[in-house]
Amino acid sequence: MPHVNPYRLESLLANASDIIVILDQQGTFCYVSSSAERILGYTPGESVGKHLSTFVHEDDVPVVLQTLLGALAEPGISQPAVRYRVRHRNGEWNLLEAVTTNLLDDPSVGGVVVNCHDITAHELAESWLRYHALYDALTALPNRRALADRVQALLEAGGQPFALLLLDLDRFKLVNSSHGHSTGDRLLQMTARRLIAALPKQGVVARLGGDEFAVLVEDATLPGIVEDVTDRVHQALSAPFAIDEMEVFVSASVGVVLSSLDRSVAGYQRAEELLRDADIAMYRAKTLRQTHSVVFDSSMRDRAVTRLQLESQLWRAIERGELEPYYQPVVCLKTGRIKGFEALVRWHHPQRGVVSPAEFVPIAEESGAIGQIGEWVLEMACHHVRAWNQGTSRSDMPITIGVNLSVQQLAQLDLAKHMHSICLSAEVEPSWIGFEVTESMMLDREDTIASTLAEFRRLGFRISIDDFGTGYSSLSRLHQLPIDTLKIDRAFVAPIEADGRNVAIARTILALAESLGMDVVAEGIETPDQARELQSLGCQYGQGFWFSPPVDGATATQMLDRIFEL
Ligand code: C2E
Ligand code: MG
Ligand code: MG
């Protein structure tokens, strides 16, 4: 061995990133390298002669002693590295990784050598990364990934049955948009706290993102435990939240999945499968509105998986910008000029392509999403109709826009006022907007609907009866309702032929409309002959593929000044 200058060695040790310690058989420090002062704050004089338990965290002392014993039993052999906490002179804990070797038999050492590496900073960085990968920053709850990891572990362990509850706050978006995001954030934090308080030991609470939370009940063997947890969740959210001197009410829709459910079929293999089914059950709960929780069963999946998927995807379609209003021109049959457009919503589904409103509007109606969609369509329609009427020579005959309403919307309290405020903030004249309602909508809840329509009229909006002729309207009632326009359903337009046959019904409807002082739009004009026949019958307006299919906003804008030949 080459000769080493002892001073040089000491200065090397002082600057080393490791601390070298020599212990006796009992664990008392015989030597501590001077690097300890830089790393832990102690001079060698302060530690030599003291027992290691003076410095090591009490919980870690057993590990250290065990390693020491191991080393004593195996002279000359380095023991596997262990980690333990050592108190810094400033009172904080440093994390050291240490390798212990018994060199008692080596006369130049005569002790147990412990080579300690300070990994505090490294560990901090690592745990920060670990933390942020697995915890939600806003609520400090475990995040989706942490939950999925845990569910996966439970699935793989194959132990007792467990349950997963997925909950989505109802109307949270409304809180966010009406009170601001910071209120929304506070509400989410308070929700997290309430859920934790309500479930001290029954379940693990996680936040999956947005206004979605989850509760994992790791042991669902106890009868009634899932019902109990579900009740506690609803109970926890039932009292109003006091935020900024406001009282905010929220409720949650809960979907429940039991891990044991699918054992008989294929068995859940992956956490994602449980999360997916919980999602389906949760949206089912949203649909049913009265019931706030639904337990998933596989028949639900078999029965209506696409419908439920569409339903759940529909709620997100607006935020994701997948909906687009299309516009179909309504043409004046005398002049060939465009009188206005009808807004017809389209859904660009990421997998399925364009989904027709005929398919998804009924789903939206059932699930309650139609309220949001309808408002959004009106906002978009306002945006376009304002642009179309700006700086045109059309001040005499402004472009109008038809917006479809569904019966669920009509049942909404204050619908007319609400729609009015949307128009006001978009700087749109209510008279440019014609709401389209169908005949069949008049049949139920006649009184409320009549008064809502009257309110629309009072605020300056126009009302059209859509698909006229397909539902049964009593003519006397039609007379009493505040209606501006009848839209003849295409069922009566389609049979009209070049030689003027099959015009009888159309003619009757036109006569009726005239006697009631209403305008008439013929829907679904597909041929020039139909257009001409209707024109000769005195029908003022027409709409249909012959003129143009529904087109996007930009294409509609280009079409504005077009004159259609008749
Ligand atoms: P609607 O209000 O009666 O709209 C007319 C439907 O007929 C549209 O179907 C339109 O594309 C289609 N159409 C137009 N011209 C012709 C033609 O010449 N021939 C044929 N065969 N069809 C024609 P779309 O866009 O699929 O909409 C279907 C229904 O969905 C609408 O019927 C309306 O009831 C509903 N809808 C569309 N957008 C909305 C909306 O924003 N809100 C609500 N509540 N319902 C909407
Ligand atoms: Mg319509
Ligand atoms: Mg129609």
Q: State pLDDT tens for residues 421-456.
A: 999 999 999 999 999 998 767 765 667 788 889 999
With 60 as the cut, is the pLDDT of residue 239 above it?
yes
More confident position, 105 or 247: 105
Say what the pLDDT of residue 2 is. 46
Q: How far apart (Å, rounded) are the C-alpha atoms in residues 222 and 417?
A: 51
Q: Which residue has the tokens 């649909």?
A: 287
Q: Which residue has the tokens 């009808």?
A: 342
Q: Which residue has the tokens 């609400």?
A: 418
Does the beta carbon of 357 lie inside 6 Å of ligand 1? Answer: yes
Does the beta carbon of 530 lie inside 6 Å of ligand 1? Answer: no
Does the beta carbon of 402 lie inside 6 Å of ligand 1? Answer: no
Does the beta carbon of 524 lie inside 6 Å of ligand 1? Answer: yes
With 70 as the cut, is the pLDDT of residue 549 above it?
yes
Here the tokens at position 231 are 């009740």
With 70 as the cut, is the pLDDT of residue 27 above it?
yes
Say what the pLDDT of residue 47 is. 93
Say if residue 137 is exposed, middle or buried (CB neighbours under 10 Å; 0-12, 13-18, 19+): exposed
Q: Which residue has the tokens 């569910």?
A: 151
Say what the pLDDT of residue 1 is. 44
With 60 as the cut, is the pLDDT of residue 115 above it?
yes
pLDDT grade for 468, boundaries at 50, 70 and 90: confident
Does the beta carbon of 434 lie inside 6 Å of ligand 1? Answer: no
Quick one: average pLDDT of 142-168? Answer: 92
Specify the DSSP element, H or E, that contains 326.
strand 323-332
Specify the DSSP element, H or E, that contains 83.
strand 82-87
Backbone angles phi, psi at 29, to 5 degrees: -70, 125
Quick one: average pLDDT of 83-89? Answer: 95
Say what the pLDDT of residue 285 is. 85
Measure 523 CA to ligand 1 centroid, in angstroms.
Answer: 10
Does the beta carbon of 436 lie inside 6 Å of ligand 1? Answer: yes
Measure 467 CA to ligand 3 centroid, in angstroms.
Answer: 4
Give the range among 170-179, 245-254, 368-377, 403-412 with minimum mean pLDDT. 170-179
Residue type, 67: T
Question: Do 300 and 308 touch, CB atoms closer than 8 A?
Answer: yes
With 60 as the cut, is the pLDDT of residue 288 above it?
yes
Specify the DSSP class assigned to residue 290: S
Q: Give the C-alpha distances (Å, rounded to integers) separating 554 from 27, 325, 343, 458.
A: 82, 11, 13, 32
Span 46-78, pLDDT tens digits: 999 999 999 999 999 999 999 999 999 999 999
Identify the residue whose C-alpha is closest to ligand 1 atom 42: 404
Residue type, 80: P
Say what the pLDDT of residue 473 is. 58
Measure 450 CA to ligand 2 centroid, in angstroms.
Answer: 19
With 50 as the cut, is the pLDDT of residue 271 above it?
yes
Q: SS3 breakdown of the chain: % helix, strand, coil, rounded to 5?
A: 45, 25, 30
Percentage of the residues of the chain whose pLDDT score is greater than 70:
90
More confident position, 436 or 170: 436
Specify the DSSP class assigned to residue 139: T
Q: How far apart (Å, rounded) are the C-alpha atoms in residues 350 and 448?
A: 39
Measure 435 CA to ligand 2 centroid, in angstroms.
Answer: 9
Give the range among 7-16, 238-247, 504-513 with minimum mean pLDDT. 7-16
Measure 274 CA to ligand 1 centroid, in angstroms.
Answer: 37
Task: Report the residue among 359, 404, 406 best suited for mutation to probe ligand 1: largest number of ligand atoms under 8 A from its CB.
Answer: 404
Span 359-412, pLDDT tens digits: 899 888 877 889 999 999 999 999 999 999 986 666 578 999 999 998 888 888
Q: Give the C-alpha distances (Å, rounded to integers) separating 485 from 73, 157, 435, 539.
A: 99, 66, 10, 12
Say what the pLDDT of residue 498 is. 79
More confident position, 4 or 174: 174
Does the beta carbon of 439 lie inside 6 Å of ligand 1? Answer: no
Q: How far apart (Å, rounded) are the C-alpha atoms in residues 414 and 518?
A: 26
**Separate counts of helices (H) and strands (E) for the chain:** 22, 21
SS3 268: coil
Quick one: average pLDDT of 491-507? Answer: 82
Give 40-80 as a DSSP string. Answer: HS--HHHHTTSBGGGTB-TTTHHHHHHHHHHHHHSTT-PPP
Quick one: average pLDDT of 273-302? Answer: 81
Q: Which residue has the tokens 């990364």?
A: 129
Identify the residue whose C-alpha is closest to ligand 1 atom 3: 467
